[in-house]
Chain A
């Protein structure tokens, strides 16, 4: 058998599968986005031209939802990255003392836990922590705060829970990066009498900066497109529309209101963002 044919045969089942589950919906979305299709009212699929797009670009709810999602992405990703970086640095420092062979695996074992726990499990725990009456957070700080139903706080509460859940991603990437820096650099710095801050700022940060950027950009698109479970479990998009992130908005138009034309248009907008962002990301990644 020719090598090329074999290659195609190996790839084909996955391609067929992805084609069916991802490309078919993509094409169907494009088709429906030019139509009105509200199966709760009528089964007719009526051509409406660009009307859905006109709606999407003028509807305040859509703009607000994109804004909330962007805010969530920037805030939670920065928080996670900063925490991950500090913890990785601290771990590297105690590792450098050489006598921490037992302690480090314990810390790592603890820090990986949030990543392992299903979002749904994490979310029910945060529901209890945030509970205004018998929640632990209010008891801890001695306040009466409605963490999940206050218009100004709900998004912040979701960001905290998400940062808790996703911090390990950055921690383990950064730790791997720091550990791969040749030890001569640190020894040279020590001889020169560099402080820990100088070591962090002038040795570690420049060495892992490329890694930081890659991790940030990968995690950012993930946060932007995959935020759903946590919001569904904690606030359901409320109070009002304050935490209605974009994936949730699409979900509601699709499977709560059954306004397929609108849902398809929002889906196309989201996929377009992913395509542009993903192409830039992958191009850069593949060029290296």
Chain B
């Protein structure tokens, strides 16, 4: 055929695809099985009778309405805060180098290599003293601080490659720096800003460690911790657990399917640029 090993490659890729899809298929299909089918030995890949009761129970008995709202709040404000702060900072780092700016950039970037857990208990005390314990705000601030380095890194390398001629021309025409930023640079940076918004949103949506530490009641509890807590109960409700996992994955999956090309750029950027 076309290439010597063509069949070999395509069967390797199909096998790998099956392995990759396996956990997802199992999660979705088990979430639709009635209780007794989940416990059947050996387990069947697909449900014989489809039921949505587990999804219903999530909202009726497991507080998923409140968790969803909290996850949305955390993801949305993490994206908003880290993108605004990070975009301005990276523009500053890229265009207006000042004394020590390289050192500051270096420090912000190196924070990415810290384990978030190392910052936890001092932050926990800080959060408790300031009355922010069990609020989504505390979680938002934590996730944002760890997302900022990525945002700054990604946006800075974007701005570094941005043609400076346009900006210089506008300055000569008498525009202020701020005008140039808002009227020229930012509108042309939409694709890059889109990438950092999505990455921050996903980071907020999937946050585990800050939520686990700062959230204590459904008042601030997001889906991640709601699902984790289903494992520590007296009995594990497998159907609800699978429904919860599927439900939580829906938002990121939709985002990835719609924005796949942009996201790959963000995923690859780190290594290719560094």
Contact = CB atoms under 8 A, between A and B. Distances in A.
Interface string A1-13: 1011111111101
Given A21-B145, A87-B13, A115-B267, A270 B118 contact: yes
B2 interface: yes
B124 interface: yes
Nearest to A107: B13
Contacts of B124: 254-255
Contact of B117 (A20, A164, A172, A228): A228
A215 B37 CA distance: 43
A189 interface: no
Contacts of B5: 93, 196
B256 interface: yes
A242 interface: no
A25 B9 contact: no
B193 to A, nearest CB: 15
Contacts of B217: none
B110 A15 contact: no
Given A7-B101, A117-B249, A176-B272, A90 B121 contact: no
B209 A282 contact: no
Interface stretch (B16-24, B53-61, B160-168): B16-24
B175 interface: no
A152 interface: no
Interface in B1-58: 2-6, 9-10, 12-13, 16-17, 19-24, 26-27, 30, 38-43
Contacts of B270: 218
Given A4-B96, A254-B121, A176 B152 contact: no
A118 B257 contact: no
- B contact patch SS: helix
Interface size class of B (residues with CB under 8 A): 35 or more
Nearest to B244: A124
Interface in B217-245: 223-224, 227-228, 231, 238, 241-242, 244-245
B110 A264 contact: no
B97 interface: yes
Given A117-B24, A263-B121, A3 B96 contact: yes
B172 interface: no
- A contact patch SS: helix
A160 to B, nearest CB: 10
Nearest to A180: B272
A118 B238 contact: no
A128 to B, nearest CB: 6
Most chain B CB within a 10 A radius of its CB, from A32, A83, A116, A215: A116
A4 B99 contact: yes
Contact of B272 (A87, A115, A211, A229): A211
Nearest to A122: B23
Contact of B208 (A94, A120, A173, A282): A120
A202 interface: no
B72 interface: no
Contact of A93 (B9, B244, B263): B9
A236 B206 CA distance: 18
A255 B209 contact: no
B267 A168 contact: yes
B170 interface: no
A182 interface: no
A109 B38 CA distance: 29
Most chain B CB within a 10 A radius of its CB, from A107, A117, A133, A232: A117
Most chain B CB within a 10 A radius of its CB, from A125, A127, A275: A125
A141 to B, nearest CB: 11
B65 interface: no
B93 A250 contact: no
A7 B111 contact: no
B206 A118 contact: yes
14 contacts: A4-B98, A13-B88, A28-B125, A93-B3, A94-B10, A107-B17, A119-B208, A123-B245, A125-B24, A126-B23, A164-B20, A169-B267, A176-B268, A229-B208
Q: Which 10 interchain pairs have the tightest Cβ spacing?
A: A7-B96, A10-B92, A21-B145, A25-B122, A267-B118, A278-B113, A14-B89, A225-B115, A118-B206, A116-B256
Interface of B: 2-6, 9-10, 12-13, 16-17, 19-24, 26-27, 30, 38-43, 85-86, 88-89, 91-93, 95-99, 101, 104, 106-126, 141-142, 144-145, 148-149, 152, 177, 202, 205-206, 208-209, 212-213, 223-224, 227-228, 231, 238, 241-242, 244-246, 248-249, 252-253, 255-257, 260, 263-264, 267-268, 270-272, 274
